Amino acid sequence: MMTIFGMPTQALFGQLLLGLINGAFYAMLSLGLALIFGLLNIINFSHGALYMMGAFVAWLALNFLGLGYWPALIVAPLVVAALGMLIERTMLCRLYKLDHLYGLLLTFGLALVIEGLFREAYGVSGQPYSVPKELAGGWNLGFMFLPIYRGWVVVASLILCLGTWFAIEKTKLGAYLRAATENPTLVQAFGINVPVMITLTYGFGVALAAIAGVLAAPVYQVSPKMGSDLIIVVFAVVVIGGMGSIMGSIVTGYLLGLVEGLTKVFYPEAASTVIFMVMVIVLLIKPAGLFGKGA
């Protein structure tokens, strides 16, 4: 058996792949958080709950409507985005003139309600969601065995993240968005409907979370708790990366996933805490975050 640093390559690359997958979810969630924060000045605490909801919509669609994985990949983000936009129009929009902390508290409350409702209905134990048959099985790459589905998650998330980056940094719509982030009043004065843009941005941000949820469903079990466990780690990722740059969020997400995967191989006891430790170190060295612009 081949080994690297005394580790069987099979285990090493297996954990690295798992780390990369976790990183994909970190990247997609922190990207959505950064987008929402940029325009709404709100940290969306319900992001984790909406990610969980994405996974549950896929599971419900399969078990009650017979809708498979591929339709769910479209339906779940649409459902979650619709709910998100409803939340934004009815509740969040009342808070824009207040301290940012109120947005955090409101979305925290919403996260509790959403998680509580799913726990009430489906209990805390996870529900299995099987890998779609087109992506079942795996390839033997020689140095490791690659389950096709896991490869797909990494590729799909990369496409989504880079697509979002391209749309924001290189298209006209993205330019409006960046302008509105800098100065909404001025952009409004140029005749662009900023409130609608805010609503759509929130919808898009939570839709990203929902897609991440659907992608995660076959990897982890679908459980009401999956969101709250993840969102705290994502917050640490956001603190490390800073929310100033889209590419920054993406890179930080994948990087920290890999760091976590490596820790699982070499010092498993610290795997659950390593990202928080990195956050402490970053706070000590560069308090504004790796890609941040001031506090």
Partner 1 sequence: MNAVIISSRQKPFVLALLGLGLVLPFAIYPVFLMKGLCFGLFAAAFNLLLGYVGLLSFGHAMFFGWSAYITAHAAKEWGLTPELAILAGVALATLLGLVVGWLAIRRQGIYFAMITLALAQLMYFVAVQAPFTHGEDGIQGVPRGRLFGLIDLGDTLTMYYFVFAVFVASLLFLYRVVNSPFGQILKAIRDNEPRAISLGYEVTRYKLIAFVISAAFAGLAGSLKSLVFQLASLADVNWHISGEVVLMTLLGGVGTVLGPTVGGFLVVAIQDYFAGIGSLVIIIQGIIFVVCVLLFRSGMIGVLTPWLKRRGING
Q: Which of residues 208-237 bind partner 1 (CB under 8 A)?
A: 228, 232-233, 235-236
Residue 113 binds to partner 1 (criterion: CB under 8 A): yes
Q: How far apart are CA 177 and CA 162, in angstroms?
A: 17
Stretch that binds partner 1, among 2-10, 24-32, 102-110, 208-216 (CB under 8 A): 102-110
**Stretch near partner 1 under the rule CB under 8 A, chosen from 115-123, 149-157, 169-177, 178-186:** 115-123
The pair of structure tokens assigned to 31 is 């990207």
* Residues 248/241, Cβ–Cβ less than 8 Å: yes
**Interacting positions 2-41 with partner 1 (CB under 8 A):** 37
Q: Least distance (Å) from partner 1 to the CB of residue 175?
A: 26
Q: In angstroms, rounded to a whole number, what is the distance separating the alpha carbons of residues 183 and 177? A: 10
Q: How far is the CB of 130 from partner 1 (least distance, A)?
A: 27
Kindly identify the residues of this chain, within the stretch 243-272, that bind partner 1 according to CB under 8 A. 269, 272
Burial of 64-92, coded b for 16+ CB within 10 Å and e otherwise, reads eeebebeebbebbbebbbebbbebbeeeb
Site for partner 1 in 127-146 (CB under 8 A): none
Q: Contacting partner 1 (CB under 8 A), which of 162, 266, 273, 293?
A: 273
- Rounded CA separation 215/281 (Å): 31
Q: Which stretch binds partner 1 (CB under 8 A): 139-147, 167-175, 198-206, 287-295?
A: 287-295
Q: Compute how many residues bind partner 1; rule: CB under 8 A.
A: 43
How many whole angstroms separate alpha carbon 284 and alpha carbon 291?
A: 15
Do 184 and 66 touch, CB atoms closer than 8 A?
no
Site for partner 1 (CB under 8 A): which residue of 115, 252, 254, 257? Answer: 115
Whichever of 196 and 284 has its CB closer to partner 1, that residue is 284
Instruction: Tell me the C-alpha to C-alpha distance, in Å, between residue 200 and each of 78, 92, 173, 194.
Output: 12, 13, 12, 10
Question: What are the residues facing 145 on neighbouring strands?
Answer: 140
* 120 lies in the binding site for partner 1 (CB under 8 A): yes
CB count in 10 Å sphere of residue 267:
10
Instruction: Name the CA radius of gyration of the chain, rounded.
Output: 19
Instruction: List residues binding partner 1 (CB under 8 A).
Output: 37, 43, 91, 94-95, 98, 100-102, 104-106, 108-117, 119-120, 228, 232-233, 235-236, 238-239, 269, 272-273, 276-277, 279-280, 283-284, 287-288, 295
